Structure 1
Amino acid sequence: MKIVVVGGTGLIGSKVTSLLSARAHEVVVASPSTGVNSVTGEGLEAALRGAHVVVDVTNAPSFDPSEVMEFFKASTRNLMAAEKTAGVKHHVLLSIVGTDGLPGNGYFVAKAAQEALIEESGIPYTIVRATQFMEFMGTIADAGTSGGEARLSIGHFQPIAADDLAELLVEAVTSPPVNAIVDVAGSERGRMCDIIARYLEAIGDPRKVVADPAAGYFGSPLAQNSLVPLGKARLGATKLEDWATKRKAA
């Protein structure tokens, strides 16, 4: 089966590409570095020719709300048009749990708009919404740090390891489209402040973590369950301390 991985050189895309290739699929990596630009449309027609499935794991190069929106809308419209021409039978999107629950976060709003374009395209699809990557916890801690103290939200948090997410994405890619949203998350749920405190301790980071009910998520207010699945979800197997220990040793 020919599968095109759009954004296939990134953290998740490279893992998905490796897993699919190991399972004897014909994999095409579509990214600007390989001559394929989903935002401009350059190289899309050739890359998608004969493709059965397209998986979109692209990431906007900016966090500016207007630029993020422009990126995801342009990229998705070009992909949908090229996929219709190529006769693609399944579009898989990597999105974020809570895209429709953080109206103050420009990135989440743009992802919700991207999802809507896919749902309205007429192409069979699966939208995989994931919680935050474990690999992103350091960035979250840094954003909340001042004077050696990290003030973090008490909202629920359920990070997933990138390796687990890649496996779950490959399952979606190699299964029939569900024309619905599938939530995936890590194996452990707790308060953001507590989970990130465990991560910092596991890697030997001396920062003190303060539970702050007023702390949001990159400027957006958080309700208790803004960032976690509200219903059924597929879970990764990796435990936080196991992941942190492996990462520290790498």
Structure 2
Amino acid sequence: MDALSLTTLLTAALVAGWVDAVVGGGGLLLLPALLVAAPGVPVATALGTNKLAAIFGTSTAAVTYARRTKLDWGVAGPAAGLAVLTAGLGAALAGAVPGGAYRPVVLVVLVAVAVFVMARPSLGVVSSPRRTPGRVVVAVAVAGLGIALYDGLIGPGTGTFLVLAFTAILGSDFVHASAMAKVVNAGTNLGALVVFGLTGHVWWALGAAMAVCLSLIPLSEPTRHPLI
């Protein structure tokens, strides 16, 4: 990788860290940056390297949220445990997705989230608890199975989907939904990273350097719709 491509990726990671700290959404920058800056990279390698960078950010954020706010471990714990396994499965299947499919997927994710947020502007602004045993099961299944599989297979927008799932299903506000999302997202990143690492699809030095850049700016609690 030449100096320009390396500089581009490290800058993208730094910007992603800043976006995450301010409003959330940095995760949507890293994978596209990898695919653009290293156009010949296998898709699985881009995903694996992205997971190495991302797991530092999500793990740090999960610990930070756990210290700042009361986590609903009855949801976050089981969902994160399932997510490790399901995201690993998605990572094992990632090689079957054509490389050209990833750019349109990122665009679709951005548009879909924007439309959803505009259609329901009050979602997550205040807490409106709807936590019942049935809804807990649904939230755990959606997060730990459906969204986790998507993260291992494709990835961009996973945190967004988790936050929106917890606000829509459980009525959580954004702070508490984001706290649960970070825990589950750390699980999805771990599961996928293990599989990508075992199959040789991680650029360890680059991923570690991106992780450092991603973690330079302290996390802030979201007060508006995040695009994590």
- The TM-score, its normalising length taken from structure 1, stands at 0.23
The structure that is helix-richer by fraction is 2
Q: Relative contact order, CA 8 A, sep 6+: which one is greater?
A: 2
- The TM-score, its normalising length taken from structure 2, stands at 0.24
Name which one, 1 or 2, has greater alpha-carbon Rg: 1
The structure that is strand-richer by fraction is 1
